[in-house]
């Protein structure tokens, strides 16, 4: 979840009494994944959490947990709703860093895409 739509994995090699980690990223056709999300209307079928899950994949950034933290901080006692979700999704990356774990503070130069409604069009 570093802002790039790549599959990422790590290879661990044992060498004596230590390990060597090799990190790999492999590009894949994310357009096919997004098309499937839209074709099956997962953002509406799975309600607000489905919308956030689809956006999490589109953005390649944590979205569901940060949304919950943002909602609690900005709308105490507020229920999860599409209105609040789109309010959160419309924020720039720098506005949501405080709700994202430090391990994900990578590639800040990659802007967040505009959220997509189930019409497939950015709002």
Residue 36, domain member (yes or no): yes
CA 55 to chain centre: 6
Portion of the chain with pLDDT greater than 90, in percent:
37
Domains held by the chain: number: 1
| Residue 122 confidence (pLDDT) above 60 | no
CA atoms within 13 A on the CB side of 105: 8
Instruction: Report helix angle 64-74 to 47-59, nearest 10.
Output: 120
Residue 75, domain member (yes or no): yes
Residue 123 pLDDT level (bands cut at 50, 70, 90):
very low
DSSP 3-state assignment of 38?
Answer: helix
Domain that holds residue 56: 29-104
Portion of the chain with pLDDT greater than 70, in percent:
92
Residue 46 has φ and ψ, to the nearest 5°, of: -100, 15
Residue 39, domain member (yes or no): yes
> Rounded to two decimals, what is the model's pTM?
0.76
Tokens 């497939």 found at: 120
Residue 15, domain member (yes or no): no
């Amino acid at each position: 979840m570093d802002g790039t739509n790549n599959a990422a994995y790590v290879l661990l090699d044992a060498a004596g009494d230590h390990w060597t980690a090799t990190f790999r990223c492999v590009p894949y056709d994310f357009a096919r994944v997004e098309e499937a999300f839209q074709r099956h209307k997962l953002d509406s079928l799975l309600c607000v959490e489905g919308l956030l899950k689809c956006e999490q994949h589109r953005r390649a950034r944590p979205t569901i947990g940060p949304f919950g933290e943002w909602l609690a901080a900005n709308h105490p006692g507020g229920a999860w709703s599409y209105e609040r979700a789109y309010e959160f999704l419309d924020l720039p990356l720098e506005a949501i860093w405080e709700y994202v774990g430090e391990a994900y503070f990578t590639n800040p130069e990659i802007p967040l895409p505009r959220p997509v409604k189930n019409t497939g069009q950015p709002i």
